[in-house]
Amino acid sequence: MRILFSIAFAALAAWADDAEEWKRQLEAERKAREADRQEFERRLRALESQKNEGLRTEVERYLEEHGLAEPAHEEHGGLGSLIDISAILDVTVGGSTATDEALQEINLGDHDPRVRGFNVRNEELVISAEVGACFQALLDVVYKLSEEGESEFEIEDAWILTTALPAGLQVKAGQFLTEFGRSNPLHPHAWEFLNQPVILGRVFGGDGWRGQGARLSWTAPFPLTALVGAQNARGETQAAFLGEEGGTVGDYTLGEQAFGSLADLAWNARIEASHEFAAWRGTLSGLLGLSFGYGPNGTGADADTAIYGVDLYLKWRPETTDAGWPFVAWQSEVVFRDYEAAAQADPVALPAATYEDWGFYTQVVWAFRRPWTAGVRYDFASSDGAYAGDADRVSVALTYWASEQARIRLQVNWDHVDGLGLAVPGASDRAFSVWININVALGGHGAHE
């Protein structure tokens, strides 16, 4: 028995020595891997530093050579931040049973496909940067080819945004898309469908509602955001208000109106609340928004326009996703407009009148399998102003996301527009269209919608 104990003890001692040796080896390997990781991170930081410093040096040299450099302030570290530059390329090709002339009465959005064949309607150059600790700035310039193939440029966005105000306050100033509803503030590359909603085209015009001005927003400690803003009411992007001199709304002609007080601005307000629920073995996110717009219109003194909007967004996603897939998103928006036209004597005598427009769209997008999404949308609009009669559209879209920065979309539209045959002699009130769209973003896309 004593011999057996001796043998067992010797075996345990040998096993303990082996275990200790294994432990030392594992610890040595762990330290070696940690040293390799630290060396890798050090080299990565050095590489990034060299890359950023090289680009910073090139930018500073360019500014100095062109006389644009400002004296560097020690507390801000020279330029303070790098500039993000990106380009968004967008090409659409397709056909329709409607003629090109009729198609322009059907697709009201300025960035919609407006002719059969190829359309290059929204090529964006975006420049953005964090400016110190207090501001963010963005410039978005759009190039497009008109229906006649002529080159056109426009500034979609050119704004400065505060980032350091207390109490959840934020100010944006410059040229920007008005935050009315869910679709109007978005650039076309962020749309789930190729076309601007029909009711927004009738109420805001082809460019949507955007302009020069400022807005103040407040984000509450709970999920609620409120904002109020004001913009110049003149120009083609203010079609619901003063618009362009010489233009028409129904039978009324828009005249020139000089700026005299704050009452001559176009005002907007919005409040939105959001909430998240656990539902159906996943998460349901909801957002409800109320929007309002008010300002003078160009038919005469004391003539005003009021616009009201309600929008709802719901998105469900399961507990486990693959890069965001799958999900189901439902979005709806209702818009009303009261356009009070003043009495006019020239070129013909017209009494004061009120034009009313209303409409909605509702859409569902299903990300059924990565990288595919499918969507269906229904549009309806009813007017007795610039667009007399009703219009409705059914759109079906299938999108393939080649990457986060590239997509290919197939969309089919069925349109019905009352009175289209009167606006375009010989045209049918109904049209069937098929479009293929390719959208690609080059570079680091800036922080805008």
Distances (CA, A) of 311 to 203, 228, 395, 424: 16, 17, 19, 33
Determine which helix (DSSP H) or strand (DSSP E) holds 44, and give its type and residue range: helix 2-65
- Position 382: which residue type? S
The rounded radius of gyration (Å) of the Cα atoms in the chain is 29
Let me know if 116 is exposed, middle or buried by CB neighbors in 10 A (0-12, 13-18, 19+). Answer: middle
In angstroms, the CA 95 to CA 274 distance is 40
Pairing of strands 282-296, 265-279: antiparallel
Class of domain 85-443: mainly beta
Domain residue ranges of the chain, discontinuous segments joined by + = 1-80, 85-443
Let me know if 288 is exposed, middle or buried by CB neighbors in 10 A (0-12, 13-18, 19+). Answer: middle
Let me know if 304 is exposed, middle or buried by CB neighbors in 10 A (0-12, 13-18, 19+). Answer: middle
Pairing of strands 406-417, 430-443: antiparallel
In angstroms, the CA 442 to CA 449 distance is 16
Residue 393 and residue 196 in contact, taking contact as beta carbons nearer than 8 Å? no
Cα 260 to chain centroid distance, Å, stands at 33
Q: Which residues are within 8 A (CB) of 446 and not within 5 positions of it... i.e. 6 or more apart? A: 84, 86, 126, 127, 128, 138, 140
Residue 155 and residue 140 in contact, taking contact as beta carbons nearer than 8 Å? yes
Residue 394 and residue 376 in contact, taking contact as beta carbons nearer than 8 Å? yes
Residue 393's pLDDT is: 98
Q: What is the pLDDT along the chain (449 residues), one digit of tens a residue?
A: 454 445 444 544 554 455 566 566 666 666 666 666 666 556 555 555 454 555 555 556 655 655 555 544 444 444 445 899 999 999 999 999 999 999 999 999 999 999 999 999 999 999 999 998 999 999 999 999 998 889 999 999 999 999 999 999 999 999 999 999 999 999 999 999 999 999 999 999 999 999 999 999 999 999 999 999 999 999 999 999 999 999 989 889 999 888 889 999 999 999 999 999 999 999 999 999 999 999 999 999 889 999 999 999 999 999 999 989 999 999 999 999 999 999 998 878 999 999 999 999 999 999 999 999 999 999 999 998 778 789 999 999 999 999 999 999 999 999 999 988 878 888 899 999 999 999 999 987 644 55
Residue 74's pLDDT is: 41
Residue 372 and residue 390 in contact, taking contact as beta carbons nearer than 8 Å? no
Residue 259's pLDDT is: 87
